[in-house]
């Protein structure tokens, strides 16, 4: 083990202060790389957050980095997955491009790094408490001689410090701790990532009904923290959401509706939320107006409200989305 000099120790101290600040993740990541540059003369660098190896990484910061290389930082977890699996399994912390067999033939290197005039790459693996890779600190150099053994020691230390910064599951783990149900991370286009340690179930699948509805609500910033979703078979599911960078983590479970509401009563209430009259609701649900009136009376009693407006307001509070 190398002994760090005063400059490297100062970087570590200052990085600790940055990580403890209240700035956003991207701002803190950029500050970490700026501090790192005081000791390691990188020509391009980036900090990535990796939700699932095999899915596109989220680039938190890549100052002074050409756009093709910034994009490649995210795609490397998809295109170079087998080699990254080896890197994850074999190398505890830091590796250079020459440490990984076949790395110089990777698309990231041959198509992006070398054409950008960069000839050496050092990567620090950022791991969680279970040893799973959460992200990477990547430093690229035009002159390989600019990367020295002492720099790898500093990168190793920083890789062990920034796990809280790059952890994409930190927020949802805290917000959704202890909740039963299936889980997945829904992307803006309705695609899904698996959440480590949890199954997605029947409905949280790529481009499925629930996934697309969550994505659509998130796109217009109308996604509730909690709501009830009705599947095509008429079964209601409780849905809890927690945003992460570039996605929304969703927990879905089949549970009894609140206040003892039946599925039919919930359907009538959802129709009421759109302003439909009893007759219009009856036409939509293929029942008589008298039957709808009976359901409305039961809804008022169960919700403890005196009229239609009160029932609609209560439905919004409960997370029942309109039809």
Reported pTM: 0.59
∠ Cα 155 166 161 (to 5°): 40
> What was the pLDDT predicted at 67?
84
Element (H, E) at 61: strand 58-61
Burial of 142 (0-12, 13-18, 19+ CB in 10 A): middle
> What was the pLDDT predicted at 52?
60
Burial of 7 (0-12, 13-18, 19+ CB in 10 A): exposed
Q: Where are the domains of the chain?
A: 6-166, 170-254, 258-318
> What was the pLDDT predicted at 115?
87
Assigned token pair, 309: 């407006």
Assigned token pair, 302: 């169960």
**pLDDT tens across 229-272, in order?**
999 998 999 999 988 767 888 999 999 999 999 999 999 999 99
Are 6-166 and 258-318 in the same CATH fold?
no
Assigned token pair, 135: 């992200």
> What was the pLDDT predicted at 84?
59
Alpha helices by DSSP H, 91-182: 107, 149-161, 163-166, 170-175
Residues of the chain with pLDDT under 70: 1-3, 51-56, 76-92, 129-130, 168-171, 173-175, 245, 323
Chosen CATH of 6-166 out of 3.40.50.300, 3.10.105.10, 1.10.357.10, 3.30.450.40: 3.30.450.40
Assigned token pair, 174: 């805290």
**pLDDT tens across 136-153, in order?**
899 999 999 999 989 999
Indicate the class that CATH gives domain 170-254: alpha beta
> What was the pLDDT predicted at 87?
55
Q: How many residues does the chain have?
A: 323
Burial of 101 (0-12, 13-18, 19+ CB in 10 A): exposed
Is CATH 1.10.10.10 what the domain over 258-318 is classified as, yes or no? Answer: yes
Mapped onto helix, strand or coil, the DSSP state of residue 114 is coil
Rounded to whole angstroms, the Cα distance separating 121 from 208 reads: 40
């Amino acid at each position: 083990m190398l002994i760090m000099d005063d400059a490297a120790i100062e970087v570590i101290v200052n990085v600790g202060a940055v990580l403890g600040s209240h700035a956003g993740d991207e701002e803190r990541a950029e500050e970490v790389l700026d501090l790192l540059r005081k000791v390691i003369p990188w020509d391009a660098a980036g900090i990535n957050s990796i939700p699932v190896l095999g899915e596109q990484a989220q680039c938190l910061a890549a100052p002074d980095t050409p756009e093709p290389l910034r994009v490649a930082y995210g795609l490397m977890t998809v295109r170079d997955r087998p080699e990254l699996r080896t890197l994850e399994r074999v190398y505890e912390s830091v590796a250079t491009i020459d440490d990984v067999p076949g790395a110089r033939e990777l698309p990231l290197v041959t198509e992006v790094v070398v054409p950008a005039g960069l000839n050496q790459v050092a990567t620090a693996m950022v791991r969680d408490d279970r040893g799973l890779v959460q992200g990477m600190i990547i430093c690229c150099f035009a002159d390989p001689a600019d990367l020295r053994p002492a720099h790898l020691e500093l990168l190793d230390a920083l890789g062990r410090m920034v796990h809280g910064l790059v952890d994409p599951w930190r927020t949802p783990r805290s917000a959704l701790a202890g909740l039963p149900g299936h889980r997945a991370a829904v992307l803006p286009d309705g695609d899904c990532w698996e959440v480590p340690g949890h199954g997605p179930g029947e409905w949280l699948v790529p481009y499925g009904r629930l996934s697309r509805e969550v994505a659509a609500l998130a796109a217009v910033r109308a996604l509730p923290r909690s709501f009830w979703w009705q599947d095509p078979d008429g079964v209601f599911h409780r849905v809890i959401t927690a945003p992460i960078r570039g996605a929304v983590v969703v927990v879905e479970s089949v549970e009894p509706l609140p206040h003892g509401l039946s599925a039919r009563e919930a359907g009538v209430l959802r129709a009421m939320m759109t302003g439909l009259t009893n007759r219009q609701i009856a036409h939509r649900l293929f029942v008589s107006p008298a039957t709808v009136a009976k359901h409305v009376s039961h809804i008022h009693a169960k919700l403890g409200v005196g009229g239609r407006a009160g029932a609609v307001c209560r439905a919004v509070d409960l997370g029942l989305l309109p039809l």
